[in-house]
Structure formats: C-alpha cells, structure tokens
C-alpha cells in the first residue's frame, strides 16, 4: 500500500525536478549608424583657355598679334598628334569623374535611400545605345 502511493509521488517529483523550461533570450537589434550625408563638392568652373594654332607659315603673324595684345610672345604647344592625345585624355578624365560620381551616388542611394530620394542626377541612364553609333562629322564638327 505504501509503495502504491510513494512510487507515483516519487515519479512525479523526479519528472518535474528534471524538466526545465528555459526562457528565450531576446536579441537586441543593432542601432543603425547615423548617415554620413556628405555633400558632393560644388561644380568647379574651368577657366576659358584660348587655343592658338601656330604653323611655320603663320608664326610671325601669330607672334606679332600676341605682342599687339600685350601677351608674351611665347607658345606652350603640342604637336598635332599630341593634341589628339590631350583631347582623348580629357575625355578619359571626364569619364572617370562621371564613373566615380556614379559610384558615390549609387552608394548613397543604396545605404541612404530616404535621404537620397529625388536628389540623384548622375545615377541615370545616359541615353539609348543608338546615341553611341559612330556619327558622321562635317568639316567644322
């Protein structure tokens, strides 16, 4: 009779003594960093530079005109081939500026979409592919 009562009690005690229900750990959410929100530098306006064409035939005329205009009669020049390279270098530098700006704007758009909304004017389509088909040029182009 004693066993009949003690056994269930002991079993209940054993079972309940072993069972543990752990409370869940709550993971806190990381606080977002403040957006850096740096402004891009203002547009730098370049100085107007005048190109002077000096050939073996017109050199005297060119220097005379320079003297007349109170400009030192000296020319820092390029050969026609180098002028071609300078022009292409200009395109390269300009393209690089556009690419870097596009990357900065893309980063801003990705990480700070709300602040950036409606502000981007660089991260846009440059035009259709047809715009880049080699064009024909007139003499003056």
Partner 1 sequence: MLGQIKLVLFFLFLSSIGGVIWYVQHLQAENEILTLNNEKLNGAVEQQQALIQQQLRDIESKTAINEQITKNNAKLTADLNLANEKFNKVNASGERRDVGNLALSKPKSIERIERKRERQRARCFEIAQGSALTEEELNATKKSQINAECTNIANPNYTPY
Which residues in this chain contact partner 1 in the complex, by CB under 8 A?
1-2, 5-6, 8-9, 12-13, 16, 19, 21, 23-24, 26, 40-41, 43-55, 57-58, 79-81, 83-84, 87-88, 90-92, 94-95, 97-99, 101-103, 106, 109-110, 121-123, 125-127, 129-135, 137-138, 140-141
| Cβ closest to partner 1, residue 2 vs residue 31 | 2
What is the residue-wise DSSP string for 63-117? HHHHHHTT--S------HHHHHHHHHHHHHHHHHHHHHHHHHHHHHHHH-HHHHT
> In whole angstroms, what is the distance from residue 81 CA to residue 34 CA?
51
In whole angstroms, the minimum distance from the beta carbon of 74 to partner 1 comes to 17
In whole angstroms, the minimum distance from the beta carbon of 70 to partner 1 comes to 19
Are 36 and 111 in contact by the 8 Å Cβ rule? The answer is: no
In whole angstroms, the minimum distance from the beta carbon of 75 to partner 1 comes to 12
| Cβ closest to partner 1, residue 55 vs residue 70 | 55
Query: Which H or E element spans position 60?
Result: helix 59-68
């Amino acid at each position: 009779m004693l066993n009949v009562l003690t056994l269930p009690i002991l079993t209940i005690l054993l079972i309940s003594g072993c069972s543990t229900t752990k409370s869940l750990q709550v993971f806190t959410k990381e606080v977002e960093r403040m957006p850096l929100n740096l402004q891009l530098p203002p547009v730098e306006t370049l100085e107007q530079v005048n190109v002077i064409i000096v050939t073996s035939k017109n050199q005297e005329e060119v220097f005379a005109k320079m003297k007349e205009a109170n400009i030192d009669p000296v020319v820092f020049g390029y050969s026609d081939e180098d002028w071609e390279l300078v022009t292409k270098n200009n395109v390269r530098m300009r393209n690089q500026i556009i690419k870097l700006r596009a990357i900065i704007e893309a980063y801003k758009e990705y990480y700070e979409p709300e602040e950036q909304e409606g502000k981007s004017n660089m991260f846009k389509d440059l035009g259709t592919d047809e715009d880049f088909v080699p064009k024909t040029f007139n003499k003056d182009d």
